Amino acid sequence: MNNSPLLQVTDLTKYFPVSSRKTAWPFGKKTDQALHAVDGINLTIRPGESVGLVGESGCGKSTLIRVISRLLEPTSGEICFNNTLINQIPVSTFARSPYRADIQMVFQDHSDSLNPRFTAFHTITEPIKRLGTPTKILNNKQWLKARAEELAEQVGLPVELLSRYPHQLSGGQKARVGIARAIALNPKLLILDEPTSALDVSVQAVILRLLADLREQLNMSYLFISHDLNVVRLLCDHILVMYLGKLVETGPTDTIFNHPSHPYTQALVSAIPSFTTQPNSFSRLSEAAARSPIDPSIHVCRLYGRCPKGEDICQQQQPTLQPIDDKHQVACHYADTPT
């Protein structure tokens, strides 16, 4: 892998305004609030690297990837892609920039992400016609047909299914169409938003093997989003753990799974189903409700109240990511203490 970053995200935030409400009568004063979906995220992806982003539902994963892929405007921060600050390109015009072809996404719901009026052939070739080389496409329809068949073979989709509509395809076949569409322009970065969550377990394994093979063949970088740590473990070199809009731990895959240091990461690892009968040594979170993401305090740890290690300092000083070694970072005051 090249040491020069393909994607560099710095202090990225995305806040959503919450409807103003009035305080108690008789004052009736309005207060403006914001939901902190993404709050100060820093991450790096290098060419050929596969990075996993994990966390429970509502932690901000989907918002983060939509900001990175320029489907949403960030509130603040920088997104440097291939040595260019793409956050300076407005979302409304990003589709016409040359970087749109280099950042593609595979969506979570393969049925809803496919146009029901498009055949598999039209779905796969649509990005080529919109973002590819117009002269080559307009003057040579045979080339377009050959390219669609080549992509279908790459993802293991029988060529005879290219004339079918989404309702005529199985879940696994629709997943392959979505992947073929995403790689049609040979992107540098492929963002995968839980691409196997809606599939049967047997189909999941086949799709994961396909994604691993495509990464090697096309030398793409992956940003893989999932709440299933076993899936991420199979496909990713590096893992980012996210909780309530913030990264709480980052590190190599083996380190995160074998030596998790943050209580939240430990709880995620402990929740992985296992055939062993030995008791799990990792911590479990309390059943207390999670803290509100609406205007959270800048002084209180986001996990405070659910964390088994919570102490007074945790509600007085919010921890920041600190290095444990060269590649492993944790945001916890008690990362080095046993549970």
Residues 224-259: tens digit of each pLDDT:
998 888 888 889 999 999 999 999 999 999 999 999
Residue 145 domain-assigned? yes
Whether the Cβ atoms of residue 48 and residue 2 lie closer than 8 Å to each other: yes
Which token pair is 129? Answer: 């016609």
Q: Which DSSP string do the residues of 7-25 spell out, in sequence order?
A: EEEEEEEEEEEEEEEE-ST
Measured CA to CA in angstroms, residue 218 lies from 1, 28, 133, 210 at distances of: 13, 59, 19, 12
- Spatial contact of 70 and 103, defined as CB atoms under 8 Å apart: yes
Q: Classify residue 249: in a domain, yes or no.
A: no
| Cα separation, 190 vs 156, whole angstroms | 18
Q: What is the pLDDT of residue 210?
A: 93
Does residue 136 fall inside a structural domain?
yes
- What lies within 8 Å, CB to CB, of 322 at 6+ separation is 329, 330, 331, 335
CA-to-CA distance for 199 and 196, rounded, in angstroms? 5
Q: Assess if residue 44 is contained within a domain.
A: no
- pLDDT, residue 25, reads 53
Q: In whole angstroms, what is the distance from residue 20 CA to residue 11 CA?
A: 26
- The answer to whether residue 227 sits within a structural domain is no
List, as one string, the DSSP characters of 17-50: EEEEEE-STTT--EEEEEEEEEEEEEEEE-TT-E
Q: How far apart are the first and last CA of the chain?
A: 37
Q: What is the pLDDT of residue 199?
A: 80
Which residue segment(s) compose the domain that 170 sits in?
112-186
Q: Number of folded domains in the chain?
A: 1
Task: Give Rg (Cα) of the chain.
Answer: 22
Neighbouring C-beta atoms of residue 24, cutoff 10 Å: 7
The two tokens of residue 164 are 């079918």
For residue 277, what pLDDT is reported?
45
pTM: 0.89
128 lies in some domain: yes
**Contact predicate 37/245, CB 8 Å:** yes
In a domain, 286, yes or no: no
Parts of the chain with a pLDDT under 50: 277, 279
- Which residues face 230 on adjacent strands? none
